[in-house]
């Protein structure tokens, strides 16, 4: 497998790095101590997800929703990236790495990854309830009465159930450019994020890292499954890819 494409332009030699697109889900951050999505029983940290992750839930009990994300935000500020996060940073030494994450934490950025697209929003940001383009960095608790520059209540900058996913189109475009696709720590059951795999070219090698894999070679002939956690499986794969690069 060739990972670098060297071309001549005039007297200059240009090296073009191959692109690796990485799709990450809740399992990516689990070993850092975060639960970024609902458990198998349909609960997220003991709450019905529709109570804390839907426009209807926010309209019914905004204080409950704000405090739920306040707790998640406080927890995020206390945890650190794990070995899976740091391995992806190492991958940037040899490849053009583009990360698309379903997670709302900042652990990829905190580890040092430079190209991260958050499909479902970011916990350390808030936005106006009226003007969705009015987005602000936010690391403290958010309360009723906290307003943006437009005078309207602020809410978590999170994509809730029933809302549009504005970063989906950019994520599709990135996935279509992949030379290698790596999927880490996701059930592949949450749409539209789970559909991104179908936008990669048919010839693209796909690696799926998860302790309980939900897809296999019968689903994708170009798939390699690693039944491992992110903190263990990602460093193994990264070392393999780097060792095989020129």
Active-site residue set = 120
Known binder of ligand: residue 103?
A: yes
Known binder of ligand: residue 25?
A: yes
Q: What residues pair up with 18 in beta bridges, in sequence order? A: none
Which pair of structure tokens corresponds to residue 12?
């200059």
Known binder of ligand: residue 104?
A: yes
Known binder of ligand: residue 26?
A: yes
Which pair of structure tokens corresponds to residue 166?
């504005």
Known binder of ligand: residue 66?
A: no
Known binder of ligand: residue 56?
A: no
Q: What residues pair up with 156 in beta bridges, in sequence order? A: 126
Known binder of ligand: residue 72?
A: yes
Known binder of ligand: residue 29?
A: yes
Helix (H) or strand (E) holding 116: strand 116-118
DSSP assigned state of 147: B
Known binder of ligand: residue 185?
A: yes
The CA distance from 145 to 153, in Å, is 6
Long-range contacts of range 204-208, CB-CB < 8 Å, 24 or more positions apart? 204/178, 204/179, 204/180, 205/1, 205/180, 205/181, 206/180, 206/181, 206/182, 207/180, 207/181, 207/182, 207/183, 207/237, 208/183
The CA distance from 227 to 121, in Å, is 28
Known binder of ligand: residue 41?
A: yes
Known binder of ligand: residue 44?
A: yes
Known binder of ligand: residue 43?
A: yes
Known binder of ligand: residue 42?
A: yes
Positive or negative: CA dihedral 122, 128, 131, 137:
negative
The CA distance from 91 to 68, in Å, is 35
Provide the annotated binding site: 25-44, 69, 72, 102-105, 185-187, 230
Provide the annotated binding site for NAD(+): 25-44, 102-105, 185-187, 230
Provide the annotated binding site for substrate: 69, 72
């Amino acid at each position: 497998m060739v990972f670098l494409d060297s071309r001549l332009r005039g007297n200059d030699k240009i090296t073009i790095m191959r692109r690796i697109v990485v799709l990450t889900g809740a399992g990516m951050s689990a070993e850092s101590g975060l639960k970024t999505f609902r458990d198998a029983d349909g609960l997220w940290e003991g709450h019905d997800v529709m109570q804390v992750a839907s426009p209807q839930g926010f309209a019914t009990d905004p204080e409950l929703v704000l405090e739920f994300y306040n707790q998640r935000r406080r927890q995020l500020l206390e945890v650190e990236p794990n070995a899976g996060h740091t391995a992806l940073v190492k991958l940037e030494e040899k490849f053009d790495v583009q990360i698309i994450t379903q997670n709302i934490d900042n652990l990829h950025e905190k580890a040092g990854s430079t190209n991260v697209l958050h499909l479902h929003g970011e916990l350390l940001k808030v936005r106006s309830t009226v003007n969705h383009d009015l987005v602000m960095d936010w690391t403290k608790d958010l309360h009723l009465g906290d307003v943006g520059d437009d005078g309207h209540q602020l809410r978590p900058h999170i994509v809730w159930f029933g809302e549009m996913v504005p970063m989906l189109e950019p994520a599709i475009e990135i996935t279509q450019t992949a030379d290698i696709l790596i999927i880490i720590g996701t059930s592949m059951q949450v749409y539209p994020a789970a559909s991104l795999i179908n936008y990669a070219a048919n010839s693209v090698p796909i690696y799926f890292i998860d302790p309980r894999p939900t897809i296999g070679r019968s689903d994708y002939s170009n798939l390699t499954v690693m039944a491992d956690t992110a903190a263990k499986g990602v460093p193994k794969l990264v070392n393999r890819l780097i060792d095989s690069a020129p």
